[in-house]
Amino acid sequence: MTALLEVANVSKRFGGVVAVRELDLRVEEGEILGLIGPNGAGKSTVFNLINGVYPPDIGRVVFRGADITGAPPYRIARQGLARAHQIVQPLAGLTVLDNCTVGACFGRENLPLAAARETAREVAEIVGLRGQLDILAGQLTTGGKKRLELARALSARPHLLLLDEVLAGLNPTEIEQMIEIVRGIRRRGVSILIIEHVMRAIMSLSDRIVVLNLGAKLAEGAPREIAADPKVITAYLGEAEPADDAGANP
Amino acid sequence: MWRRPFLWLILAVSLAFVLVPYLTDDVQLREGLLLAAVYVILASSLNLMIGYAGYVNFGNIVFFGLGGYVCVFLVSEWHWPLVPSAILAGVAVSAVALLFGLGILRLRGAFFALATIGINEAVRQLVTNFEPWGGATGIYLSFDAYEPLGGPMQALWTSYFLVVGVMALSLLASFAIKRSKFGLGLIAIGQNEDAAATLGVPTPRYKALVYSASAFLPAVAGGIYFFKSGIIEPGAAFNLGLSIEAIVMVMLGGQGTVIGPAVGAFLYEELRGALLVAEAFSNFQLVIAGVLLLVIVLFVPGGLMGFVHRRWPKARSWLE
Amino acid sequence: MIAILASVLDGVLVGAVYGLAAMGLTLIWGVMNVINLAHGALTVFGMFALYFLASVLGLPPYSAVPIAIVAGFVCGVVLYWIAVHRIIGRPELMSLLATFAVNMVLIGVGTALWTTSPFNVPVTLPGFTWQGYTFTGTHIMAAVLAGVLAGLLYLFLHHTRVGKAIRAVAQNREAAELSGIPTKQILSMAFGLGVALAAVSGTLIATMFPFTMLSGEAYQLKSFVVTVLGGLGNPAGALLGGIALGLVEGLSTPFMPVSWIPILEFGLFVFCLMAFPRGIFALSKG
């Protein structure tokens, strides 16, 4: 069965540094795949390789059966692959509604303006931005901007959503809310590839987890297996120990 | 959509432009308003690049000049009537702009800006050496070019009305684009080009399209303007100073708004007129424009309309 | 054949000065992501400095070099505080327009003061002749001084506190600020340094060629071409790029009229931008 997204033997180096090394990754339809690893492991680079920010030096990226390796970002977005960035990039001079409308207009469904506005409204509702539609994106709080980032990506009605540390900078209540939102997104049929540092969140959200270290795949499996894996624990030595969160509620 | 107050405003202003000089038969006023209308056309079209897509086209005057040359050439050598010549000039220049745009719009920020200056200078150099277009002396229109329009006097009025029509079109087009999906994509590019691309906006295509679109009406206007002037030569056609002033007009009035460039064009024209009476030095004109531009960029980047919109948000609907 | 060789060698000498000018541009660009569109005008002011000091005040011509550096630095710092510091971090459009506005003012003021007539500062230095072709002393001197100044710049950036601070800010402004570096002051000094380089290269150019108030545009274009060749923010690349440009000019001057050279350079500029966005000499840095 073909995976929704297949990353095959992908490598990328920057000057003398190998950021990603011979990586294989599959995201199945309907699943939430977690991508974790210590800082500098290459996780964001993997995202950049997937959504076309730059091409891999070797290897292929195949999305829904089509080879998207090195394709420009807008073409990849049009095929139904959307991304919420770690460092949020709101279109600051546009309102929240307009931001999401851009996503809906130019995403997978390529909607005309009026229909896109409707989709944008619905999505803003899902993400909890309903009351802030007319606020300029640049004036939102950090939490608001993070939600907008997510809403915008979602407005494109993607098949696959790349979430890059959407929980960073949020307080515990906001984290809980965001986790619920992410679950809701999957229930709507969107597959998710998520990078996260908040261990209990990613452990509870993910169906499977891939661990990256120094650009290469260190381990892969169900959350519980990963949490108990001694290689993973060693890689994280000095950072939050996954073992502590292994018993967190699903 | 036609209930929008702003559209009525455009209509009203255009009617004023048409009726006031006509009813008073004031030729001097007409000439002044013609120039103002040309500035509005240049500024509005430039605004598509600067205000929407966020790309500074320093050499925007090249469209005006090239359009002028194509139109005057068609009228003078091939004896075409004015309107088809002007329209063809518009089409031809925007087609060339599309081709060029696909190339140079791959350049970001300042590189693009510099490339546009280079294009203007290169075109001027080429035209100066291009004999079929009169080389350095340019093309003179003989009086019988005006016969089809009823003679020189009548032709001047007709040209004026046509330019006012183009002015109205430029404002309407600016408005229509801003409200369209294309416009939303452009504005997204202007806000953050990389984010826009990740969201699916086909950035190379859109940038080339807006560059081409920003060429059309200035080219048509150039055609009519130089027809009316009776003469076109490289220096006047590709006047970099006017190009720069168009930028100041856009920034002064409020880039990104529809009426801003028009207001800016008007204000700048008034300012310039007042200055020219006081100082006969064109150098100081440049200095004043420079200081004005600097002040706007540093302190009031939204220009006049930006200020108005912030202060009186309710005015947005009829002063778009 | 020898004629072409001589032309090329001369081009290399002059190219060193182009490189010096471009270093100013690329420094400002690399450190604060601002493209100084007043660069050409500032170069011309450096030329006029030579005229003023040598022809009007009668001082020895090369004494203008240190004066141009100091005056350029001061002007740069002042310009920074007037026009630039408020637009750091704002969209690139704004910094383009701001420096462009400064350019307009400088050219306007300059033209009002000195009109657009050509100026020439006759500087004579013994050159040397080879195979019937003379290499003017001024060209050699200019190249040597350019090299010396480039070397001094290198030492400054790598072995002084301020220089290292500038490099730190260029790499990562936030991190630099967090480690206690007063970024605003450093940025102003970097800008001053960039302007100083523009000014002194203008002075050197004026020892070699006549100039007008409007010459700035041509030299600014050259600086841009060199910056693109050498890679953004890469002073060493700028020097190499300058020499390369000088080489190209040397190769083409025997074959084409002078007025076409800017068009050639413009074409080269656009070509390099599209083919080598990171600069030819930056290829190895990835």
Each residue of A4-27: pLDDT tens digit?
999 999 999 988 889 999 999 999
Mind listing the pLDDT tens digit for each residue in B292-316?
A: 999 999 999 889 998 888 888 887 7
Phi and psi at A105, nearest 5°, equal: -70, -40
* CB contact residues (below 8 A), chain C span 39-98, against chain A: none
Contacts 24+ apart (CB under 8 A), B275-279: none
Of A104 and A236, the one with more pLDDT? A104
Residues of B with Cβ-Cβ distance to A91 under 8 angstroms: 187-188, 191-192, 195-196
pLDDT, mean of residues B164-183: 95
Mind listing the pLDDT tens digit for each residue in B5-56?
A: 888 888 999 999 999 988 888 888 899 899 999 999 999 999 999 999 999 9
All chains having 3 or more CB pairs closer than 8 angstroms to chain C: A, B
Contact criterion met (CB below 8 Å) for C148 and C169:
no
All chains having 3 or more CB pairs closer than 8 angstroms to chain A: B, C
Contact criterion met (CB below 8 Å) for A197 and A212:
no
Of B290 and C284, the one with more pLDDT? B290
CA distance A224 to A246: 6
CA distance B168 to B261: 13
pLDDT of residue C272: 76
Distance from CA of B240 to the nearest CA of C (A): 12
Per the CB < 8 Å rule, is A73 touching B197? Answer: yes
Residue ranges of E strands in C82-152: 128-130, 133-135
B197 touches chain A (CB under 8 A): yes
Please state which of the ranges A105-109, A180-184, A188-192, C268-272 shows the lowest mean pLDDT.
C268-272
Mind listing the pLDDT tens digit for each residue in A194-235?
A: 999 888 899 889 999 999 988 899 899 999 998 888 888 888
pLDDT of residue A244: 47
C266 touches chain B (CB under 8 A): yes
Distance from CA of A14 to the nearest CA of C (A): 6
A5, A1, A22: which is closest to A212 by C-alpha? A22
> Percentage of chain B surpassing pLDDT 70?
97
Contact criterion met (CB below 8 Å) for C221 and C269:
yes
pLDDT of residue C197: 95
Residues of C with Cβ-Cβ distance to A90 under 8 angstroms: none
* CB contact residues (below 8 A), chain A span 4-43, against chain C: 14-16
User: How many A-C residue pairs are in contact by the CB < 8 A criterion?
Assistant: 4
Distance from CA of C214 to the nearest CA of B (A): 12
Low-confidence ranges of chain C (pLDDT < 70): 276-286
pLDDT of residue C283: 44
Average pLDDT score, chain B? 89
Give, in order, the Cα–Cα distances in Å from A12 to each of A15, A210, A215, A218, C191. Answer: 10, 18, 9, 17, 36
Nearest chain B alpha carbon to A157: B199
Per-domain boundaries in chain A: 1-80+160-198+210-250, 88-158
pLDDT of residue A240: 52
Per the CB < 8 Å rule, is B125 touching C273? Answer: no
B255 touches chain A (CB under 8 A): no
Per-domain boundaries in chain B: 5-317
* CB contact residues (below 8 A), chain C span 179-208, against chain B: none
Residues of A with Cβ-Cβ distance to C93 under 8 angstroms: none
Mind listing the pLDDT tens digit for each residue in C66-96?
A: 999 999 999 999 999 999 989 887 877 888 8
Contact criterion met (CB below 8 Å) for C145 and C207:
no
**Sheet order of strands, A17-27 included:** A17-27, A5-14, A58-63, A66-67
Give, in order, the Cα–Cα distances in Å from B216 to each of A41, B87, B104, B148. Answer: 51, 9, 18, 25
pLDDT of residue A245: 46
pLDDT of residue A227: 86
How does C53-67 read in b/e, with b if 16+ C-beta sit within 10 Å?
Answer: bbbeeeeebbebbeb
A54 touches chain C (CB under 8 A): no
> Percentage of chain B surpassing pLDDT 90?
53
Mind listing the pLDDT tens digit for each residue in B192-224?
A: 999 999 999 999 999 999 999 999 999 999 999
Give residue for tokens 């002042």: C78
pLDDT of residue A62: 95
Tokens of B266: 């008007």
Cα B244–B246–B252 angle (5° rounding)?
105
Residue B142, pLDDT above cutoff 90: no
Q: Which of C94, C103, C111 sits opposite B301 (nearest CB)?
A: C94
Per the CB < 8 Å rule, is C112 touching B281? Answer: yes
CA distance B270 to B247: 16
pLDDT of residue C251: 85
* Architecture of domain B5-317 in this structure: Orthogonal Bundle (1.10)
Class in CATH terms, C2-285: mainly alpha
Per the CB < 8 Å rule, is B109 touching C109? Answer: no
Of C179 and A49, the one with more pLDDT? A49
A56 touches chain B (CB under 8 A): no
Residues of A with Cβ-Cβ distance to B188 under 8 angstroms: 91, 94, 102, 106
Residue B102, pLDDT above cutoff 80: yes
B70, B81, B86, B79: which is closest to B132 by C-alpha? B70
CA distance C59 to C52: 9
The domain A1-80+160-198+210-250 is classified under which CATH number: 2.60.40.10, 3.40.50.300, 3.10.50.40, 1.20.1260.10?
3.40.50.300
Residues of C with Cβ-Cβ distance to B284 under 8 angstroms: 108, 112
Instruction: Kindly give the interhelix angle for C261-275 and B82-104, rounded to the nearest 10 degrees.
Output: 60
Residues of B with Cβ-Cβ distance to C100 under 8 angstroms: 58, 244, 293
Per the CB < 8 Å rule, is C285 touching A15? Answer: yes
Of C111 and B87, the one with more pLDDT? B87
Residues of A with Cβ-Cβ distance to C286 under 8 angstroms: 14-16
pLDDT of residue B5: 81
Residue type, B7: L
CA distance C175 to C152: 27
